[in-house]
Amino acid sequence: MANVRNKSSNPVFWVLMAVILGIILFPVYWILVTSLKTPLEVVLPIPTIFPRELTLKNYIGVLQSGFLKNMGNSLVVSISSTLLSLAISFCAAYALSRFRFPWITNTLFLIWILVVKILPPVVLAIPLYTMFNAMSLINRILGLVLVYQVYTLPYCIWMLFGFLKSLPLMYEEAAQIDGASKSATLWFVVLPMMRTGLVATSIFSIITAWDEFLFGLLFIRTPALRTLPLVIADYIGEYETLWGNLMAIGMITALPILLFSHFVYAYYTKGFALGDK
């Protein structure tokens, strides 16, 4: 404890922290100032650290292009795919961690879903497209939610499996001794203890679905149904890149993830405070 206090009172420590913080935040600052520059100032040979003329035309142009509709699509797809992944992966992870299967079965299953996770998405694109086309799920939000399980489900199973393995069995056994059914034990005992694991897993799942590009490009044809990564790609052309609009849409796109991160931080802080009491 004394060592930590000595470090926090050392000026070199604070200078080093300021440098690290500046390196981390500078790209965010550069995106912000570029989004507030005029098109001519963006392409100057010598970049300006501060905008000479502040303008909101980049943000206005992005908002007038129907961008909010596409952001709504991304929110629906990300949240829906995350909820579906959490529901399926929780059941799978609970079965793997609590029920007695032959060890080779558990091992092969976990290895298999890990292989699916590390496979290049383009390898799965053609068979998935053929299958979803046969089920009339191409160019539909539901189809995109289901296909994103290729990204999110293996990761969620591995994450929740690790959390469930660390939970002691005595709480579940005590509930069953008191007469609780298996479903009641799962709902009232296991799920409350798994809140931290579910929240942590949901963060990575939402970010993965929010940033996905390839399957969205292949499975969505109608512009009104496109997600944000597809819209962002429109600002990068063969002969011209609209940097001002691109940075503006980047700032707006980051807001939902930042708000979600703030909510998660507040949740964790409140949970720790209640735990200390």
CATH number of the structural domain 66-233: 1.10.3720.10
Residue 273's pLDDT is what? 47
Q: How large is the average pLDDT for residues 65-92?
A: 91
| Higher-scoring residue by pLDDT: 197, 130 | 130
Can you read off the two tokens belonging to residue 25?
A: 């935040």
Of all residues in the chain, the percent with pLDDT exceeding 70 is 92
Task: Find the mean pLDDT for residues 15-22.
Answer: 89
Beta bridge partners of 241: 236
Over 70: is that where the pLDDT of 265 sits? no
Average pLDDT for residues 41-67, to the nearest whole number?
86
Say what the alpha-carbon torsion angle 112, 117, 121, 123 is, to the nearest 10 degrees. -20
**pLDDT given for residue 5 in this prediction:** 56
Spatial CB neighbours of 190, under 8 Å, sequence gap ≥ 6: 94, 164, 167, 172
Q: What spatial distance separates the first Cα and last Cα of the chain, rounded to whole Å?
A: 22
The residue among 159 and 4 whose pLDDT is bigger is 159
Structure tokens, 58: 């980049």
Long-range CB contacts (within 8 A, 24+) of 161-164: 161/92, 161/93, 161/96, 161/97, 161/110, 163/93, 163/194, 163/196, 163/197, 163/201, 164/93, 164/94, 164/97, 164/98, 164/190, 164/194, 164/197
| Whether pLDDT at 6 is above 80 | no
pLDDT tens-place string over residues 170-179:
888 888 888 8
Q: What is the mean pLDDT of residues 201-213?
A: 88
Question: Where along the chain do its domains lie?
Answer: 1-65+235-277, 66-233
pTM of this prediction? 0.82
The overall average pLDDT reported for the chain is: 84
pLDDT (mean) for 114-140 = 87
The band of 272, judged by pLDDT with boundaries at 50, 70 and 90, is very low
Distance, in Å, from the CA atom of 273 to the CA atom of 32, rounded to the nearest integer, reads: 35
pLDDT average, residue stretch 82-94: 91
Q: What is the pLDDT of residue 274?
A: 43
Residue 240: Cβ within 10 Å count: 9
Rounded mean pLDDT of 116-142?
88
